Structure 1
Amino acid sequence: MAIKNLKDLYLDQLRDLYSACKQSQPIVAEMGSAAKSEALSKALIAGNQGIAEGMEVLAALCNEHGVDPTGEHCKGMEGLVTEARKHALETDYADEDAQDAGIITQYQRMAHYAIAGYGCVRTFANRLGLDGDAAKLQECLDNTWEGDRHMTKIAEGGVNKAAV
């Protein structure tokens, strides 16, 4: 698809963000299973539910604009998933608390990528006068920020201290 204007870019980025979310789901589930902290495991399960809810919003918006949400492959998230697998799951950790800290690190890197994506498409929707789209995307952005803040609380509330 040739990008001729901001609307085309908006639609392209919705699809790219959908791909990013889809790619992140399996690794977040794997990290949730690998986490030793019960709070971390529960947060990752909730995070995966949040990712699924965001995908539903993105798919609905794409469909409303007549585009297939599955038409892109996000290379950025592909790299983040590779890094998460390597640094959170495949690294030989002698200490499970240190692994939990690594899991939080990798989750937050992926969350920050999603935050940037949601922020951009929300801003595009605002500029395009797509107020309904912008409101839905703002909710996804807010939820992603909240998940990130919750991970920080888990890290600062005990995981990082235990990993020292």
Structure 2
Amino acid sequence: MTIKNLKDLYLDQLKDLYSACKQSMPMVTELGRAAKSRELSEALIAGNQGIARGMEVLASICDGHGMDPTGEHCRGMEGLIVEARKHGIEASYGDEDAHDAAIITQYQRMAHYAIAGYGCVRTFANRLGLDGDAAALQECLDNTWEGDRHMTRIAEGGVNMAAVDGR
């Protein structure tokens, strides 16, 4: 697809974001299973539910533009998943709390990629006068930010401190 204007870029980025979300879900599930902290595991499960809701919004927006959201492969998220597997699943940790801190780190890296994606497509939708799209994408952006803040609270509320202490 040749991108000729902002609308073409917007549609392309919607598909890329959909791919990123789709790729991240299995990894978030794996990270949730690997977490020692029950609170962290439950937050990752909730995060996956949020990702699924975001995918529904993206699919609906794409459908409204007569476009299938699938077919794109997001290489950026692919790289983040490789890193999450390496550092959050396959790495060896002598301390379970340090492992949980690594899991939070990897989740937040993926979430920040989604935050950037949602922010860009929301901004494009605003510029294109697609108010309904922009509102739906803003909600996805807000939800993703909240998931990120929740992970920060888990990290700061005990995981990182326990990892320092090596409990």
TM-score calculated relative to the size of structure 1: 0.99
Deviation string 1:133-157 (CA, Å, 9 cap, x unpaired) is: 0000000000000000000000000
Which residue matches 1:39? 39
Shift of 1:98: 0.5
Q: Does 1:53 align with 2:72?
A: no
Task: Tell me the C-alpha RMSD between the 2 structures.
Answer: 0.4
Shift of 1:71: 2.0
CA distance in structure 1 between the aligned counterparts of 2:56 and 2:68, rounded to whole angstroms:
13
Shift of 1:97: 0.5
Helix, strand or coil for the counterpart of 1:3?
Answer: coil
TM-score calculated relative to the size of structure 2: 0.97
**Unpaired stretches in structure 2, ≥5 consecutive residues:** none
Deviates more, 1:77-86 or 1:63-72: 63-72
Deviation string 1:91-128 (CA, Å, 9 cap, x unpaired) is: 01111111000000000000000000000000000000
Which residue matches 1:118? 118
Seq. identity, %: 82
Which residue matches 2:160? 160
Misfit runs of 4+, over 3 Å: none
Shift of 1:68: 1.2
CA distance in structure 1 between the aligned counterparts of 2:2 and 2:59, rounded to whole angstroms:
20
Aligned length: 164
Q: Does 1:6 align with 2:10?
A: no
Shift of 1:67: 1.1
CA distance in structure 1 between the aligned counterparts of 2:70 and 2:56, rounded to whole angstroms:
12
Q: Which letter does structure 2 place at the counterpart of 1:26?
A: P
Matching of residues 59-70 of structure 1 within 5 Å? 59-70=59-70
Q: Which letter does structure 2 place at the counterpart of 1:119?
A: G
Q: Which letter does structure 2 place at the counterpart of 1:101?
A: A
Which residue matches 1:85? 85
